[in-house]
Amino acid sequence: MLKGRTAFVTGGTGAVGGAIVRVLAREGAAVAYTYHTAADKAAALDAELLAAGAHAASYPLDVLDGAAAAALAERVDRELGPVDILVNNAGVTQVLPLALIEEADWDRVMDVNVKGTFLVTKAFVRGMIRRRRGAVVNMGSLAGMRVLDVPVHYATAKSAIVGFTLSLAREVGRYGIRVNAVVPGMLTEGVSVNIPERSQEEYKRFCTLSRAGRPEEVAELVAFLASDRASYINAQAIFIDGGL
């Protein structure tokens, strides 16, 4: 499905990020992915992918360093090939009520989730525009789309990702670049583990499938959207929440 393509994934050592990297590699793409501080996890994932015969490599990156992102775009182009799939997955959250959120907390969550997505996208979309081909998949969250008991700064950031997706899709569609967002509900791993047990049970009660999703299920959707099989899907925020 993705043979001959090169993908770049931010936050590739987390539960969802790792699943995305594995599925993209399984589908035949050369995969570059980033980590921030989890060098040990990146080394382990590199070894796993190498053993599976995948063409993949990890790179350290602070997504808030725009110059570093631009330099990495050039490096990946040289080492793995021109990137035509970008997955903006890196993100952070905090479990705090509004009254306890400090300005620095707000800035950190907004910066990593929103500004980081902007900086990385800017670095990699330039090449896609020159080649007039590409697919961008941004990671949203049900937290930014539904009335849920979630931290307000995280919900705000994820809501912004959807707005970013819609506007960017309109701007770059003329160059043959598609931009979509994936909007997961509660998952068995990742940031969902911070959800109180009471809220987890409430989610399952209202979810039509009566369970949490798996990172691998999200990764399969990301891979589909990145492929030519989704060639007429653009400017969408696609829910994968088990039917809430």
Select which of 154, 175, 203, 232 is catalytic.
154
Q: What is the rounded distance in angstroms from the CA atom of residue 167 to the CA atom of residue 203?
A: 31
Question: Is residue 154 among the annotated active site residues?
Answer: yes
CB 7 within 8 A of CB 226: yes
Q: What is the rounded distance in angstroms from the CA atom of residue 68 to the CA atom of residue 237?
A: 29
The residues, any chain, with a CB within 8 Å of residue 132's CB and separated by 6 or more, are 175, 176, 177
Q: What is the rounded distance in angstroms from the CA atom of residue 188 to the CA atom of residue 19?
A: 13
Name residue 59's beta-bridge partners: 34
Q: What is the rounded distance in angstroms from the CA atom of residue 211 to the CA atom of residue 203?
A: 8
Measuring CA to CA, which residue among 236, 240, 99 is closest to residue 173? 236
Give 22-39 as a DSSP string.
HHHHHTT-EEEEEESS-H
Q: What is the rounded distance in angstroms from the CA atom of residue 55 to the CA atom of residue 32?
A: 9
What residues act catalytically? 154
